[in-house]
């Protein structure tokens, strides 16, 4: 996720206080996103219970996260190197 800073200018200068406020706003934003994700996961587990395939939970998570207003990308490939072997 790309981090965007929404810094306010004060007399065309960025102050430490303004940077700190921006950082706090970023932290609050990330906390809200985290709370949404965890809440969705808990609701899905309460509704469906345990024992389904991961793909079923994933589909439900994607649907509910989109409904919550978040942008979602599924199954993004990640480069993994294990003992000098690149796994794809």
Give per-residue pLDDT as tens, 39-87.
999 999 999 999 999 999 999 999 999 999 999 999 998 899 999 999 8
CB–CB of 86/80 below 8 Å? yes
User: What count of residues does the chain have?
Assistant: 88
pLDDT computed for residue 48 by the predictor? 97
H or E stretch including 33? helix 16-48
The structure tokens listed for 18 are 């303004």
pTM of the model: 0.65
Q: Where are the domains of the chain?
A: 16-87
Pairwise CA distance, residues 84 & 88, whole Å: 13
H-helix or E-strand containing 87?
strand 85-87
């Amino acid at each position: 996720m790309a981090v965007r800073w929404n810094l306010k200018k004060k007399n065309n200068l960025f102050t430490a206080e303004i940077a700190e406020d921006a950082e706090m706003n970023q932290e609050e934003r990330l906390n809200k996103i985290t709370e949404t994700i965890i809440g969705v996961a808990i609701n899905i587990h309460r509704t469906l219970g345990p024992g389904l395939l991961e793909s079923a939970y994933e589909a439900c998570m994607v649907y509910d996260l989109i409904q919550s207003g978040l942008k979602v990308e599924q199954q993004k490939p990640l480069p993994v190197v294990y003992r000098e072997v690149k796994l794809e």
